[in-house]
Amino acid sequence: MTLEVVTIPNENLRKRSLEVDLDFVHDEENQKFFEAMIKTMYEDDGIGLAAPQVGKNIRVCVIGKDALKQDKNNTLAIEDLVLINPTWQKINKKTQVDLEGCLSVPKTYGKVKRYKNVYVEALDRHGEKMEFEANNFFARVVQHEVDHLNGVLFIDKASGIYEVE
């Protein structure tokens, strides 16, 4: 089952999402929801997807394994990630500007400045605490998806925004 990706100007994309508890995480229907998010992300050619993008304002996002593969310092297994109630902190002041797009802002791209190295804390899809360092593209994806959970879109931070047909 795939989910419908909502696009701007849907007001849910601008709301801060609510944290979820362990009962939510362990619920069988919600486990199916996590799988549906991953399937939707791939079917729409995304590298990440946040719950608000599929109409649920909860602090859950998924990140595709290809983002992890690009981080040569990655210590996680190379598999799709489900991050529940994720937070991140910069590790240092190094930043990088790169082009971003978003499934909820179709056919639009812009340059966004993001931290190159972040430390992430979250629960995994089973409710177990996880902590890891994300670097470069992987760090960018984490920051982009957590922005969604805070009601922030990449276009709020981007310069040189342009549309394609």
| Residues acting as catalytic residues | 145
| C-alpha–C-alpha distance, residues 33 and 78, integer Å | 21
